[in-house]
Structure formats: structure tokens, C-alpha cells
Amino acid sequence: MTLAMRITSVDRDRERYRDLLLLADEQWDMVERYLYRGEMFAAFAEDEPCFKAGSASMPEHTLGCMIVTDEGEGEGHARIAEVKSLAVVPAYQRRGVGRALLDHAARRCAGTFDVLQVGTGDSPLTVPFYEACGFSRAHVVPNFFTSNYDHPIFEAGVQLRDMVVLERRL
């Protein structure tokens, strides 16, 4: 069942989403490399009550979030945007939140970028999800996880070594 939700831009206090971001990238110093380098978006249930945070009205419970960065030009002068740390609260996974965030990123990037890409571990959980959302395998970055993280990372019982880069044409 797909939820009725709204997706908003997050312009400040991004550290507030730390626990959620760590679901997608479990080493905080890696997240900090792009936390403020791109646009951040968060998904909330349409009927979520809000509370006052300074001068803004903020929903209390986030369903998911992501960061989208400008990665410049790639092969053939294609402008590339990259989704980083797409994360959905476990209780709301498989309910359309991740797909809605990716579709939001694609709409936002269309016209400015040619390609929306994402890098992920070669896992039976994540790669099929991105493929179902219109992404296809572009290339592999060998030993990305073993070279850049201070501990082994496992997903679905598989140790992540290489990063699979998937792309969706805009």
C-alpha cells in the first residue's frame, strides 16, 4: 500500500536526520563528505502533525530522506546528478517511500541533468530495488567499500566490496 506523502527540501539542521542517513551509509564521516554538498529531501506522511521549530513548522516523523549532489559532467558531456544516502524508516519500507523520493529527484533534476545515478553495494536487496525504479547498471567501482570504510559492511549476509553504479536517463 502506497502512502500519501509530501516531500520537502531540507535546508538546515541536516544532522537531525543522522540516524536515518546512517541506515543508508553506516559510517558518519562518509556521510559528512556530502551532507551539505547537495540538496536534501525528506518524505513525510501527508497527514503528519507538525511542531514549531524556530520560525518553521516541521513534521515530527520522517518516513525517508536522501541527498542529491551535482557530480558534473560524465562521459559524452552528460550532466550527472547522484542520489546519496537514500534511506527509509524500516517500518515504512516497501510502501513506496523510496520510489517516491527517487521519482522526486528525477523530476527535480530533469532539464538540468541528463543522468540520475546512484552508487550502492552489490546486494540482493538494493540493486533489484533500483532496477525496478528504472535504473540500469552502468559500471562497478572495485573495492570501494573495503578501501573507504573502517570496518566490513554486510547487507543481506553479503560483505560489500565493490560499488555498483546505476543510472537512470532523464
Distance of CA 93 to the CA centre of its chain: 13
Query: In percent, how much of the chain has pLDDT > 90?
Result: 77
Give the N- to C-terminal CA distance of the chain in Å, as an integer: 27
Cα–Cα distance for residue pair 92/2, rounded to 1 Å: 10
pLDDT of residue 100: 96
pLDDT of residue 45: 85
Torsion on CA atoms 60, 66, 72, 73, rounded to nearest 10: -140
Distance of CA 138 to the CA centre of its chain: 17
pLDDT in tens, the chain (170 residues): 567 888 999 988 899 999 999 999 999 999 999 999 999 999 988 765 544 444 444 456 789 999 999 999 988 899 999 999 999 999 999 999 999 999 999 999 999 999 999 999 999 989 999 999 999 999 999 999 999 999 999 998 989 999 999 999 99
E strands, 95-148, are 115-121, 136-141
Question: Are 6 and 46 spatial neighbours (Cβ–Cβ below 8 Å)?
Answer: yes
